[in-house]
Structure 1
Amino acid sequence: MGVVAIEDVLFPGIDVQVTAVYAAVEGAVVEAAACGRPPDCPSCGCPGRRVHSRYRRRLAERPVAGRPLVISLWVRRFFCEQAGCRRRTFVEQVPDLSERYRRHSVGLRQWMRAIATFLGGRPGQRLCHILQLPTGRTHLLSLLTAPPVPEQAPRVLGVDEFAFRKGWRYGTVLVDVEAARVVDVLPDRDAATFAAWLHEHPGAEIICRDRATAYSTAIREAAPDAQEVADRWHLLHNLSAAVEKTCVQHRVCLRKQADAERQSPPRRIINPLPPPTLPPTKMAVRTVDRYSDIHRLLREGCSISEIARRLHLDRKTVRHFRDTDLDTLLASSRMGRPRGVLEPYTTYITERFTDGVTSPTDLYREIRDRGYQGSDLPVRRYVAGLRTGTIEPARGAIPSPRKITKWIMLPRGTLDHDEEDELLGVRLACPDIARACDLARTFHDLLQHRRGHQLLAWVREAERDAPPPVLAFAQGLCLDLDAVTAGLTLAWSSGIVEGHVNRIKTIKRAMYGRASFRLLRTRILLRS
């Protein structure tokens, strides 16, 4: 390599001349002088010709070899010779190195802005301290300014909510689906706020949304010509919830089938189980007290909303306690915590206990020979619960409603042979679950193959003999028929929007919930 000037190493492409380099207490110091062409007056644009004076500026620069770097920069002050200009003198700025009123170089300022964008205040300050960058958290955050929002809305706009605090306060994120970037962030999820934004930023032709009524109301008001597209994932999620609710309602059918299979041929019971008693746990006592309070207020004629306000409960909780008997509510109290590795053997232990084998040691040896790899302590606790009646005895194993829903909602051909056999047994045990399975798989085919034109036929099929939860889902589709049909037909969806919502959660949690909406919005827009 040939000889390279130090200016080309430290300041490539910048019009400065280095006069000295030395070490000082504060780090490495580079003395330099601006040597570019005379600048123009920032007020009138007249080129500077006569030098008024020179003075020295001190700029903090990015560190070199792990040491802070300070630039002692000599700059020139010029006369403005334009008679009508209010400015008599002006100072030159070195492009890509100095700015007016700044004590940091342009490159260092870009570094600190990037650190503040990705890390925030205190984490960014700690990183800057390690990197030998002289700054504080307040200065880092002051570098962040939100980019301007385009006057025209993107052609394909995605809208979704995100939680500032889940269950309490929500905001709205607007995404350009084609460019996959955030356009703006709104402080709430009200229809009026979104409608006002659409009025101020016209131009959206397709709007992808979930099934929230606030967004659909705002679109009908502010952008009636835009094509609404209901998100396909939310449609499948709502259908999955309806199928799971059907499985919960008909769990009795599966229990009867499992008990019938277990009781044939009948066994001779030598040691019958004691009647179930209330376990001495806080949850069981709280369940009994809550059940008594709710039914007492119901007898007094109070509405569900009034009971929820008095007892500080959710209306769904009050309705659940109203419609469920006390024994069913206490069943979960008797079951206690999950039994882990003992779970597959509880049915065998219960049967052997009723056969007269009540010794925990003997039962432990028997299940150990059958493959149990845990200790004897869970066995002793389970047998003690069977003796006192404070634990729910294991009966014939039946799949949970969530597991059945998973088997139904997965694409065809993805279940293994055992899962197919279990699902077939569930379908044979309960006609309503079988019907919900058929309708769910038909709807999944409509969504997968973009057959939105067949949606009305599916709804009519569901209205004929669908279980109530699936019927309610089908009737809800009719209230948003155009958007759902577009979601089952067009290629657009809210998948990109959901990805940005997930990224917003990461940013929000990294800020520990302490930031203002302005700062959160700025970081979201800068990082997109």
Structure 2
Amino acid sequence: MRVKNVNELVQTVFSGLSPLVIEDVTDEGERIAVRARTAQDAAFCPACGALSGRVHGYQLRTVADVPVDDRRVVVRVRVRRLVCPTPGCRHTFREQVPGVLERYQRRTARLTGQVKAVVKELAGRAGARLLAILQVGLSRHTALRALLRIPLPTGRVPRVIGVDDFALRRRHRYATVVIDAETHERIDVLPDRTAGTLEAWLREHPGIEVVCRDGSATYAEAIRRALPHAVQVADRWHVWHNLCEAALSEVKAHSTCWAAVLDAPLYDGPRARTTLERWHQVHDLLDQGVGLLECARRLQLALNTVKRYARADRPERMLRVPKYRASLVDPYREHLRKRRAEHPAVPVQHLFEEIKALGFTGCLNLLHKYINQGRADADRSHISPRRLARMLLTRPSNLKNEHHDLLDRLTGACPEMTQLTTSIRDFAELLTPCPENADRLSDWIAQARAVDLPHLHAFTRGLERDRDAVIAALTLPYSNGPTEGVNTKTKRIARQMHGRAGFTLLRHRILLG
């Protein structure tokens, strides 16, 4: 667009002020001053709506506008005070300019819109700092007030919702977020995660047919009381996570089986002897008919610890492979094995100097510890129960060829490990929702209970307690994943405000997100 004169240039630069009549533009150095007046049109009385053009007087309003040329812009507008023609109504009123000047505001509507866009993303301090760079001066308190004045979206009550909790202060205070599981829009944030609060909210919002949630018994009870006919859908990720925990426990319980394949050492020391003694103590009391809670009281152990000993049918099931982490010495293990085989009496100091010349960056003490643990003489690097469980739970197509061979050897160490592998892969196929999964789940539970895997039995009991919700998760396309995503963004918002935000401000930002 080509500008022909100064007036046209002014109208182009200040196009947002087009409802006003611009009379003059002055360069005041650090800021630009614009002098303007309202048009001579009649205006409506804000009280009775009567149209009036009778002028009682004039007033001057000073408002800030969007910066130009990296300088602040101040608009001084002469507005009219008009006389209302309706008898009994207010005597006079000051005219407003919708879209430019709002009642009681010190900024134009378009500048207010830009301020709200910034504070919506950055909130108080960060928003004020960015606006200062943009030549819009306001304090962090004003930024927060502008944020809280942004109206929250009020949409329809969704048919499918997702419910999940998040921490306001970890292990102390929690809140509940409710979203539309189909459109992923935020619906509401509740101040706690109690059953009564969620039940009251559900009763105030009838029309909900499906509720996606995690394994929380509190949420399940609230939904059951408020919406007895609604379908509850468990989260597939949490179901799979529970199976992962059960699989890891079974792998640990069979450490003596698969560790023998690798010639990996087991814990052998005071800790292992204490574990075996406790196993005998627990099972002696159980054989006498003593209950689990009484066993815990007599032995001064936690109840869950007693349950863990009770699940092991043999004391060997309590022995574990050492939890060796990856070491800086691992890349030089073959060199150490070769040198120690050729010269069994070679000093550790000489080995340290040799591998240091090869690029080793650790210390001598680390090498001593590595050799004393027997890791230098092992045929292969140590594998932990968690790593083996991870290979069991990984999609077979994502495993490397050497991992396939190693996994086949380890899972064939005992019948229970083979059955565990089969159960995991069969259950993984159920995670793709389809109507046939309801019957397939029943068959899988029956097969899992037929094998000697106590931790897997505990997992099946959990499925039975929430069977309807689990079946809905395996047969319907809904998931609580979008709610978990909102929680992830909520943590980012909380970290951004350094934990100083109260619930009102945090709720406002979540719902605006």
TM range, normalised to the smaller chain? Answer: 0.7 to 0.9
* Structure 1 residue aligned with 2:500: 514
* Structure 1 residue aligned with 2:490: 504
Secondary structure at the counterpart of residue 105 of structure 2 = coil
Regions of 4+ moved over 6 Å = 275-278, 304-308, 314-325, 327-332
Match status 1:216 vs 2:220? yes
| Alpha-carbon separation, structure 1, partners of 2:306 and 2:53 | 83
| Alpha-carbon separation, structure 2, partners of 1:166 and 1:104 | 40
Task: Check conservation: 2:430, 2:437, Cα contact below 8 A.
Answer: yes
Counterpart of 1:7, as a letter, is: Q
Task: Check conservation: 2:45, 2:93, Cα contact below 8 A.
Answer: yes
* Structure 2 residue aligned with 1:296: none
**What is the CA-CA distance between 1:362 and the residue it aligns to?**
3.9
Task: Check conservation: 1:155, 1:203, Cα contact below 8 A.
Answer: yes
**What is the CA-CA distance between 1:113 and the residue it aligns to?**
1.3
Counterpart of 1:101, as a letter, is: Y
* Structure 2 residue aligned with 1:341: 328
Higher relative CO (Cα under 8 Å, sequence separation at least 6) belongs to 1
Aligned CA distance change for structure 1 residues 492 and 276 (closer, same or farther; 3 Å): closer
| Alpha-carbon separation, structure 2, partners of 1:175 and 1:463 | 37
| Alpha-carbon separation, structure 2, partners of 1:140 and 1:306 | 60
1:427 to 400, 405, 411: 411
> Percent of aligned pairs with the same residue?
34
1:32 to 28, 32, 36: 36
Alignment of 1:284-299 (within 5 A): none
Alignment of 1:205-284 (within 5 A): 205-259=209-263
1:57 to 52, 61, 72: 61
* Structure 2 residue aligned with 1:464: 450
Secondary structure at the counterpart of residue 328 of structure 2 = helix
Counterpart of 1:181, as a letter, is: E
User: Once structures 1 and 2 are overlaid, which stretch shifts more, 493-502 or 135-144?
Assistant: 493-502
**What is the CA-CA distance between 1:9 and the residue it aligns to?**
3.0
| Alpha-carbon separation, structure 2, partners of 1:136 and 1:318 | 59
Alignment of 1:71-150 (within 5 A): 71-85=75-89, 87-145=90-148, 147-148=151-152, 150=154
1:408 to 370, 392, 395: 392
* Structure 1 residue aligned with 2:170: 166
Counterpart of 1:106, as a letter, is: A
* Structure 2 residue aligned with 1:442: 426
**What is the CA-CA distance between 1:138 and the residue it aligns to?**
0.1
Task: Check conservation: 1:152, 1:203, Cα contact below 8 A.
Answer: no
1:493 to 479, 488, 496: 479
| Alpha-carbon separation, structure 1, partners of 2:405 and 2:47 | 83
| Alpha-carbon separation, structure 1, partners of 2:500 and 2:307 | 36
Task: Check conservation: 1:251, 1:401, Cα contact below 8 A.
Answer: yes
| Alpha-carbon separation, structure 2, partners of 1:318 and 1:476 | 19
| Alpha-carbon separation, structure 2, partners of 1:157 and 1:48 | 51
Secondary structure at the counterpart of residue 397 of structure 2 = coil
**What is the CA-CA distance between 1:196 and the residue it aligns to?**
0.8
Match status 1:480 vs 2:492? no
Counterpart of 2:437, as a letter, is: G
**What is the CA-CA distance between 1:5 and the residue it aligns to?**
5.4
**What is the CA-CA distance between 1:206 and the residue it aligns to?**
1.0
Secondary structure at the counterpart of residue 45 of structure 1 = coil
2:202 to 198, 218, 223: 198
| Alpha-carbon separation, structure 2, partners of 1:346 and 1:109 | 66
Aligned CA distance change for structure 1 residues 449 and 204 (closer, same or farther; 3 Å): closer
* Structure 2 residue aligned with 1:356: 344
1:185 to 174, 185, 189: 189
Return the TM-score normalized by structure 1. 0.81
Counterpart of 2:330, as a letter, is: E
| Alpha-carbon separation, structure 2, partners of 1:277 and 1:218 | 49
**What is the CA-CA distance between 1:76 and the residue it aligns to?**
0.8
Q: Deviations over 1:432-487 (max 9, x none)?
A: 22212111110111222534221111111111115111111111111111111111
| Alpha-carbon separation, structure 2, partners of 1:100 and 1:461 | 72
Runs (5+) with no aligned partner, structure 1: 263-274, 279-290, 292-300, 309-313
Secondary structure at the counterpart of residue 174 of structure 1 = strand
Task: Check conservation: 1:46, 1:80, Cα contact below 8 A.
Answer: yes
**What is the CA-CA distance between 1:14 and the residue it aligns to?**
3.0
Aligned CA distance change for structure 1 residues 62 and 148 (closer, same or farther; 3 Å): closer
Counterpart of 2:365, as a letter, is: R
* Structure 2 residue aligned with 1:374: 360
The Cα RMSD (Å) is 3.6
* Count of residues paired in the alignment: 478
| Alpha-carbon separation, structure 1, partners of 2:399 and 2:41 | 74
| Alpha-carbon separation, structure 1, partners of 2:63 and 2:326 | 66
Aligned CA distance change for structure 1 residues 316 and 462 (closer, same or farther; 3 Å): closer
* Structure 2 residue aligned with 1:267: none
Secondary structure at the counterpart of residue 472 of structure 1 = helix
* Structure 2 residue aligned with 1:271: none
* Structure 2 residue aligned with 1:525: 511
Aligned CA distance change for structure 1 residues 357 and 400 (closer, same or farther; 3 Å): same
| Alpha-carbon separation, structure 1, partners of 2:257 and 2:393 | 21
**What is the CA-CA distance between 1:112 and the residue it aligns to?**
1.3
**What is the CA-CA distance between 1:302 and the residue it aligns to?**
10
Task: Check conservation: 1:15, 1:36, Cα contact below 8 A.
Answer: no
Task: Check conservation: 1:158, 1:207, Cα contact below 8 A.
Answer: yes
Task: Check conservation: 1:199, 1:222, Cα contact below 8 A.
Answer: yes
**What is the CA-CA distance between 1:408 and the residue it aligns to?**
2.1
Secondary structure at the counterpart of residue 144 of structure 1 = helix
| Alpha-carbon separation, structure 1, partners of 2:327 and 2:30 | 61
